[in-house]
Each structure stands twice: as structure tokens, then as C-alpha cells.
Chains A and B, each alone.
Chain A
Amino acid sequence: MTLLEIVTLILLAIGVFFIAVSAVGLVRLPDLYTRVHAAGKAGTLGIVGVLMGVGVYYITSLSVVVKMVAVIGFFFLTAPVAAHMIDRAAFLTGVKPVEGTRPNELAGRYDPETRRLS
């Protein structure tokens, strides 16, 4: 194996490890908010690792590298937005956090009609 392939394998392995950790968290964590936390952060880091591996493997092709950088930027921009939208929708429709979540500072502070903080 060349050095390029070794670096690619290391990056791919880091990415696959973090995505797998994220899936384990999705299965084992106790309530919705902790699960979104696992999928939103570890999952994003893992997919960025995999895409960086692809970009390093095709380092001589400019178009592939540019596309990979664009997709990585897209993931960093959109993953927090998606996670926050899921959490907000869940909180507004009354999904309860796990027993012992304290302080729960948002409890009772949303106006149910206008869906804004009072």
C-alpha cells in the first residue's frame, strides 16, 4: 500500500468509528434529546472523516477535492439546524426528557399558541 492509501484508510476508519459510536448512542441512550445529541454531533464528525478520506484519496483531482470540501461545509452548516429543528418540534409537542433532567429551564416557558418564548 502506498502512503496515500494508508492515510485514506486512517481517515475512513476514524469516520466509520464515529458513525458507529453515534448509532450505538442512538440505540442505548435513554430519551430523545440525548439521542439527537449523539446523532447530531458524533454522526457529523464521522461523516466528515469519511468525506475527508475520499478527498485525500483523489487529492490529484481538483474537482473531487472541491466537491468534498463543499459537502463537508454543507454538513457543518445543516446538521445543527436539523438537530435543533427536531429538538424544538419534540419539545413543543410534549416529548418528556428522561427522569432526573434538571435544571429543565425551558419547561413552561413556551407559549403554546405562538410557539415563541415568553
Chain B
Amino acid sequence: MSLFQTAVAALMFVLSLSLGAAVWRLLRGPSIPDRTTALDLIVNHIVGLVAMFVIISGQVVLIDVVIVISVLGFLGTVAIARFIEVGRS
């Protein structure tokens, strides 16, 4: 691996540690909206990791994965928030 790829891999490592912090909030969060927020941030982490993996591996096709994951994350967050608000009757 070149120096550039090593540096990007180091950034991916830092992002993985930060992902662990978000997962801690997902497991611990006192209320369901806390967990939903953590899930939203976890989707952001995964989008960032996939985007940096595109640079490391050179597989430009994986850009579409970024688009799909971001749309799915938004729809999931909206669905859970909607369920919390009106879905308990």
C-alpha cells in the first residue's frame, strides 16, 4: 500500500473507534429517540467508511452503495420517528 492509502486506512480506523462510541449510545440510550439518533449517526459513519473504502480499493462502482445507504438511513429514521409519535395507539 502506498502512503496515501495507509493514511486513508488510519482515518478509517479513527472512524471505527467513533462508530464504537455511537454503538454504545445505541445500546445504552435511556429512551427510544436516543437510540434513533444513535442509529442516524451510525448510518453516517457507515457512509463515511464506504466512501473511504472506495478511495482505498479504487472500485468506483461502490459509489452507488453510498447513495443507497444514505437514502435507507433517512427513511429508517423518519419511519421510527413517525412510529414513536403516532404508532402507540
Contacts and interface: CB of A to CB of B under 8 A. Distances in A.
Contact of B14 (A16, A32, A81, A82): A16
Contact of A26 (B8, B25, B88): B25
Given A12-B52, A54-B55, A74 B70 contact: yes
A57 B38 CA distance: 29
Contacts of B44: 19, 22, 39, 43-44, 46-47
A43 to B, nearest CB: 5
A5 B66 contact: no
Nearest to B47: A47
B67 interface: yes
Contact of B40 (A1, A39, A64): A39
A36 B37 contact: yes
B contact patch SS: helix
B4 A20 contact: no
B34 A16 contact: no
B31 interface: yes
A22 to B, nearest CB: 6
24 contacts: A16-B48, A19-B15, A19-B18, A26-B37, A27-B25, A39-B38, A51-B47, A51-B66, A54-B52, A64-B60, A67-B63, A70-B67, A71-B66, A71-B70, A74-B74, A78-B70, A82-B81, A86-B36, A86-B81, A88-B81, A88-B85, A89-B84, A90-B84, A115-B86
